[in-house]
Amino acid sequence: MSKPQRKFRIGFWTLGLCRSVNFGGPYLFRQPLDPAVYLQPTNEVFEKKFADPKMDQFSIRNVVPRLILRSLSVVVATIFAAMLPFFGDIMALFGAFGCIPLDFILPMIFYNVTFKPSKQSLIFWVNTLIAGVSFLLVGVGAVASVRQIVLDAKTYRLFANM
């Protein structure tokens, strides 16, 4: 296995591990990594504002603020996630509009546009079928998650799963 293939597999293994960790117990500890995934742009803003570009990225001057600010942002996001008993439904809505198109629709379209397989070839039609079915799943997933958010919002209580 080549080095890029190993990185690819390790990356997906890590992503799968992070998404499936379930420690049991209260909601706060069941999926603490969900909000952290969406905090990467925030971390980038913090690093641009508080890091010293003249120093090494692993110097104490840059590591300490990074550690404090990232930890603080994860704590705030986790508390926010625990406040919403329907956080999983909101994640499903983001997944319907973000993950499905990025993972299943765009790669198929990009492959067909870039490599221009013949319209009589099997690969063209398989890619088109995958993109079409995934597009339907985006609609179904969005409607289902909005419906579930509405149902859960009717019985909303702050920190309901704690």
SS (H, E, C) the chain: CCHHHHHHHHHHHHHHHHHHCCCCCCHHHHCCHHHHHCCHHHHHHHHHHHCCCCCCCCCHHHHHHHHHHHHHHHHHHHHHHHHCCCHHHHHHHHHHHHHHHHHHHHHHHHHHHHHCCCCCCHHHHHHHHHHHHHHHHHHHHHHHHHHHHHHHHHCCCCCCCC
Res. 92: pLDDT tops 70 = yes
Given this model, what pLDDT does residue 144 score?
A: 93
Is this prediction's pTM over 0.75? no
Given this model, what pLDDT does residue 12 score?
A: 41
State what percent of residues in the chain have pLDDT above 70.
Answer: 74
The residues spanned by each domain of the chain are: 1-83, 84-162
Given this model, what pLDDT does residue 59 score?
A: 87
pLDDT digits (tens, 9 = 90+) for 44-66: 888 888 888 888 888 898 889 88
